[in-house]
Amino acid sequence: MNVDANVSSRINLMRIVLISGIVFVHIPFDPANTPFNGNYGFFDWLRVFLSEALFRVGVPCLSAISGYLLFRGGMEGFNYTKTVRTKAQTVFLPFLIWNTLFFIAVLAILAIGIGDGYVISPYESTFRELLSQLFAAETFPANIPLYFLRDLFVCILISPILAWLVRRIPLITLSSLLLLALIPELPLYIVIKRSILFSFTFGIYASLYKLDIKALDRFAPLGVALLLGASALLATAIYATGPSMPDWVELSRNALAIGGAAGFWMLSALLIKTPLGQRLSKTGSLSFWIFCAHYPLLVFLFMVWGKTGVDFYPLFFGGCLLVLFPLLVLTNGFVRSNAPKSYAVLTGGRTKKSPQNPSRRDIPADFVPQRR
């Protein structure tokens, strides 16, 4: 199965849009400025809308795209050994490098006494906790969003089993994984975020059964409106009940994170027709750079903010975004131009972009990551 130019461009567009949205999930705050204190009224609700509702869709959507692309050649065109070898370089190696670099940075800043309260201290962690901080063994790594790469690589490792189940008992497989993804506080251990396993498997299903993923495009305006409306309702419920949300709110958030992927895909049908959408679809490896680098930079900016003595949190929220994205674009371009070999390793070889025929190596990275 070939991926046509429109679908390929929309996939590239979704990467940059969703990964940029994931940034909102990880903007740090201290206990005095949690949105659930209601200090800033509508601004706090907006933070919840963006970080706890709308952009929680990022991880499931990107996971589904990854599963879809992995089996676009069908079972016959799937070479497990080659795939694992390639993904070790394009997914797992960048995870190890970026996370280890941040872990070392954490050790350094804590050693000179300037990181207390901003990062988890490895010096005070057990060996088991260190395994997670370095390798995401049981929970989030030091560079929190990178848990997605770990979970994605696990899904790739077990992808033949998932594909076999999808081919033989698709409804039982998908419904079982969906149930696991929806139920609050149900540990699965094999992956940190259960929604990734379901969404990745659904992507495999869509690929193997050759679903027409553009079938809903004619309903795009309605789908986008429903996504925004449902996100607003969920944000209101979370804002009213958080931070310790009842199970029905948790279940609703999990359901929107999964179901909202369809809304974002329909949004791509509208955006790709615009000049901005076309331009964003050609940003290539920038999305992966944003994904890997945004959290360390956010922590750094929050540390700088803490030294200013200014208490008006909305100023930090807006200001860090104005600084962060240009800085990410500039560092991406600088490293790519001046250290191309290092850049290729850091981005998992995502240095070439071909909207008409995406490389199997160019699997999207998402995240969306849970904040804490």
How far is 334 from 351, CA to CA, in rounded Å? 14
Provide the pLDDT for residue 354.
40
Say whether pLDDT at 101 is over 70: yes
Verify cis geometry, omega within 30 degrees of 0, for the bond prior to 141.
Answer: no
Provide the pLDDT for residue 4.
84
Structure tokens, 355:
């909207």
SS3 string, 49-70, reads HHHHHHHHHHHHHHHHHHHHHH
Provide the pLDDT for residue 1.
54
pLDDT tens-digit profile of 116-140?
Answer: 889 999 999 999 999 999 999 999 9
The closest alpha carbon to 35, from 311, 316, 224, 314, belongs to: 314
Lowest pLDDT segment from 3-7, 157-161, 354-358: 354-358
Provide the pLDDT for residue 364.
36
Average pLDDT over residues 193-222: 95
Per DSSP, the three-state class of 162 is: helix
pLDDT tens-digit profile of 158-187?
Answer: 999 999 999 999 999 999 999 999 988 777
Share of the chain above pLDDT 70, in %: 94
pLDDT tens-digit profile of 259-280?
Answer: 999 999 999 999 999 999 999 9
How far is 53 from 21, CA to CA, in rounded Å? 11
CA 17 to chain centre: 11
Provide the pLDDT for residue 76.
86
pTM of the model: 0.91
Say whether pLDDT at 358 is over 70: no
The pLDDT mean for the chain works out to 91
Provide the pLDDT for residue 2.
58
Provide the pLDDT for residue 300.
96
What backbone phi and psi angles, to 5 degrees, belong to 116?
-60, 130
Say whether pLDDT at 154 is over 60: yes
Per DSSP, the three-state class of 2 is: coil
Structure tokens, 322:
């104005």
**335, amino acid identity:** V
pLDDT tens-digit profile of 313-355?
Answer: 999 999 999 999 999 999 999 999 999 999 999 999 887 544 3
C-alpha dihedral (243, 147, 203, 87), degrees to nearest 10: 170
Provide the pLDDT for residue 359.
39
pLDDT tens-digit profile of 7-50?
Answer: 999 999 999 999 999 999 999 999 999 999 989 999 999 999 99
pLDDT tens-digit profile of 56-77?
Answer: 999 999 999 999 999 988 888 8
How far is 105 from 119, CA to CA, in rounded Å? 10
Say whether pLDDT at 360 is over 80: no
Q: At what angle do helices 247-271 and 5-25 cross, to 10 degrees?
A: 140
Provide the pLDDT for residue 151.
97
Provide the pLDDT for residue 74.
87
pLDDT-derived band at 298, boundaries 50, 70, 90: very high
Say whether pLDDT at 250 is over 70: yes
Q: Is the dihedral of CA 11, 329, 362, 195 positive or negative?
A: negative
